[in-house]
């Protein structure tokens, strides 16, 4: 917790559940896809603000494994906006030194989307500023099952003994292997659940829920969430009065 005159802690990794696009559109009498279009336009200012503040990783919950249940035209529209975003934002990513990454099972996405994702990753691979991570066809439970299977395969090949499997090995086998766990997870639109997002990684993440719908989420709202983060005492299971410094 910071006091007067103390330096503000900047979370090293911020994750956001971008919720409320459909509600935003419904409130305005617009089709749901208009809400998704407006939501896509929020990514640039939030990414830029995060980079300016010194955040190292920004992970956005873009398309979950459960989202395939939505109407086909809505899914097609979402994928179209994703491709447009990648094409339009690449120059901005390069200008701002942003490295682009994804987490999730990409094989189920269309060839056109996968091609654009690969192109953006390759183009930004040498950038060393903020890492922007889109969670695409991502589910936390599926991620953990996948990691368990990878480790089981190593055991089957005699590369690993079962008793050697620990939290470090399992974490390395997740999609996020090599990334720090999120310090701060923000959910927009007021819903109070994780929705199968970063279940392993969020064990000690600070949660901030805002009533602001994602298409209305502004840089100031991100700054407010970080201010709330700074009011928290992060003990990581310790006793009150034994606060540990976050790895920020």
Q: Residue 146: what pLDDT?
A: 98
Distance between CA atoms of 8 and 243, rounded to whole angstroms?
16
Told to judge if 221 belongs to the known catalytic residues of this protein, a careful annotator would answer no
Told to judge if 67 belongs to the known catalytic residues of this protein, a careful annotator would answer yes
- pLDDT-derived band of residue 247, with 50, 70 and 90 as boundaries? very low
Distance between CA atoms of 33 and 248, rounded to whole angstroms?
36
Q: What is the pLDDT of residues 175-208, one digit of tens each?
A: 999 999 999 999 999 999 999 999 999 999 999 9
> Are 226 and 246 within 8 A, CB to CB?
no
Q: What is the pLDDT of residues 85-114, one digit of tens each?
A: 999 999 999 999 999 999 999 999 999 999
pLDDT higher than threshold 50 for residue 246? no
pLDDT higher than threshold 90 for residue 6? no
Q: Residue 8: what pLDDT?
A: 82
Among the listed residues 19, 181, 183, 221, the single catalytic one is: 19
* Domain spanning 13-148+181-231: CATH superfamily: Decaprenyl diphosphate synthase-like (3.40.1180.10)
pLDDT higher than threshold 90 for residue 241? no
152 half-sphere exposure, CB direction, 13 A CA radius: 6
Distance between CA atoms of 63 and 22, rounded to whole angstroms?
14
pLDDT above 70 coverage of the chain, percent: 92
Distance of CA 114 to the CA centre of its chain: 18
Please give the average per-residue pLDDT across 72-88, as a whole number: 94
Please give the average per-residue pLDDT across 73-92, as a whole number: 94
Q: Residue 4: what pLDDT?
A: 53
**If DSSP codes are grouped into helix, strand and coil, which group holds residue 2?**
coil
**The overall pTM is greater than 0.85:** yes
Strand partners, 208: 186
- pLDDT-derived band of residue 233, with 50, 70 and 90 as boundaries? confident
Domain boundaries, the chain: 13-148+181-231
Among the listed residues 52, 67, 108, 166, the single catalytic one is: 67
- pLDDT-derived band of residue 3, with 50, 70 and 90 as boundaries? low
- φ, ψ dihedrals at 217, nearest 5°: -70, 115
Please give the average per-residue pLDDT across 207-227, as a whole number: 98
Please give the average per-residue pLDDT across 54-68, as a whole number: 97
Distance between CA atoms of 212 and 208, rounded to whole angstroms?
12
| Mean predicted lDDT score pLDDT of the chain | 93
């Amino acid at each position: 917790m910071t006091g007067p005159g103390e330096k503000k802690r900047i979370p090293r990794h911020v994750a956001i559940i971008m919720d409320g696009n459909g509600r935003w559109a419904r409130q305005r009498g617009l089709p749901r896809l208009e809400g998704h279009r407006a939501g896509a336009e929020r990514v640039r200012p939030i990414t830029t603000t995060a980079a300016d503040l010194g955040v190292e990783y920004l992970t956005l919950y873009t398309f979950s494994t459960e989202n395939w249940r939505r109407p086909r035209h809505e899914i097609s529209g979402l994928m179209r906006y994703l491709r447009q975003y990648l094409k339009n934002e690449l120059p901005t990513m390069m200008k701002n030194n942003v490295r682009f990454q994804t987490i999730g099972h990409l094989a189920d996405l269309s060839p056109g989307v996968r091609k654009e994702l690969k192109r953006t990753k390759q183009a930004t691979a040498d950038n060393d500023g903020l890492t922007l991570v889109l969670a695409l066809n991502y589910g936390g439970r599926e991620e953990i099952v996948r990691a368990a299977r990878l480790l089981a395969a190593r055991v089957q090949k005699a590369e690993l003994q079962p008793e050697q499997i620990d939290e470090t090995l399992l974490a390395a086998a997740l999609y996020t292997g090599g990334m720090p766990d999120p310090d701060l997870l923000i959910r927009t639109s007021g819903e109070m659940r994780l929705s199968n997002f970063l279940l392993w990684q969020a064990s000690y993440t600070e949660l901030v829920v805002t009533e602001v719908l994602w298409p209305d989420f502004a840089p100031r709202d991100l700054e407010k969430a970080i201010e709330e983060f700074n009011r928290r005492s992060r003990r990581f299971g310790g006793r009150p009065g034994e606060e540990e410094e976050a790895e920020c």
